[in-house]
Amino acid sequence: MKLSVVIPCYNESETIVALLNAVQNTPYTKEIIVVDDGSTDGTREILSKYGQMNPSVRVILQPQNMGKGAALRTGFGLATGDIVVVQDADLEYNPKDYAILLQPILEGKADVVYGSRFQGGPGRVLYFKHMLGNRFLTFLSNLLTDLNLTDMETCYKVFRREVIQNIVIVSNRFGFEPEVTAKVAKMKDVVIYEVPISYNGRTYAEGKKITWKDGAAALWHIIRFNLDPFAEKNYVRPSSDLPSLVMNQRKEFVKKYGDGLGGGDFVPHARKKTE
């Protein structure tokens, strides 16, 4: 069993090395794919150096800031492991929780696992309004998907690779969370589990980035991907298309911009059907 840990990263120079070390210390066979989304605080340089010193860490440098969803889309396309783990770069989510996250899949009980911050795991107490917002968005998502999740917006989402690589992700920013939830809920014979995780939330002074605008956008995406019939055009992709899609994107970018920066690679996105 091999993991693909996909890490979207934007301006996390203070935390990225500690996070990567923590992921590397987990007792699993794995590949680590870090997608820097146009950082301007020195993160790119840190990642390039880290990638050169750690061959098991693949560093992808996006040409510009496009958002979390865009970074994950790139990472998912490059994943080769049996199980794909989404890991934020900010140390709010602890890689020590991989054991509980992976258990339902390893036992053959689930195809997708969400790690919930609201099921009783230890967590830093912060931002009552954020908690209310998360609960409301999860409630609305559940209402439209007929799921009973407690934390739709969680970073920790774990997939069998064939599940996530057969979903077309079109959201570029934080719309990824409601989009992937809506699309997974519509997939036949896909079993979803939810497990409790720990959570060490940051303050805005410590670097937290999500704002009320992202919450409003999430509300729109919940409605869009659950009720808009045109959204179904971008539902699933034949898995056989993935290798050619990734390679064609790579060739197009290298032809226009060159072959990357430092120890990383540039991987562009297909431009159609994005937000």
Q: Residues 132-174: pLDDT tens digits?
A: 888 999 999 999 999 999 999 999 999 999 999 999 999 888 7
Q: Tokens 């699933």 appear where?
A: 236
Q: Where are the alpha helices (DSSP H) in the chain?
A: 16-24, 43-53, 68-78, 98-106, 128-145, 161-164, 176-185, 212-227, 242-257
Residues 201 and 189: their CA atoms lie apart, in Å, by 34
**Class (C level, CATH) for 3-257:** alpha beta
Please say if the pLDDT value at position 91 is more than 80. Answer: yes
Residues 98 and 101: their CA atoms lie apart, in Å, by 5
More confident residue, 263 or 185: 185
Q: Could you tell me the pLDDT band of residue 214, with boundaries at 50, 70 and 90?
A: low
Q: What pLDDT does residue 232 have?
A: 52
Residues 122 and 100: their CA atoms lie apart, in Å, by 14
Element at 187 (helix H, strand E): none
Q: Could you tell me the pLDDT band of residue 212, with boundaries at 50, 70 and 90?
A: low
Residues 57 and 142: their CA atoms lie apart, in Å, by 36
Residues 94-100: what's their mean pLDDT?
Answer: 97
Supply 119's token pair. 């099921």
CA angle 273, 83, 233 (to 5 degrees): 20
Q: What pLDDT does residue 132 have?
A: 86
Q: What is the DSSP pairing of strand 3-9 with strand 57-61?
A: unpaired
**pLDDT digit string (tens) for 40-90?**
999 999 999 999 999 889 999 999 999 999 999 999 999 999 999 999 999
Sequence-distant (6+) residues with CB within 8 A of 89 are 7, 8, 9, 10, 12, 15, 16, 19, 34
**CA proximity to 174, closest of 14, 5, 4, 8:** 8
Q: Could you tell me the pLDDT band of residue 263, with boundaries at 50, 70 and 90?
A: very low
Domain range summary for the chain, segments of one domain joined by +: 3-257
At 113, is the secondary structure helix, strand, or coil? strand
Instruction: Enter the pTM of the model.
Output: 0.81
**Sign of the four-CA dihedral 209, 183, 132, 275:** positive
Q: Could you tell me the pLDDT band of residue 258, with boundaries at 50, 70 and 90?
A: very low
How far, CA to CA in Å, does 81 sit from each of 11, 206, 265?
A: 27, 33, 20
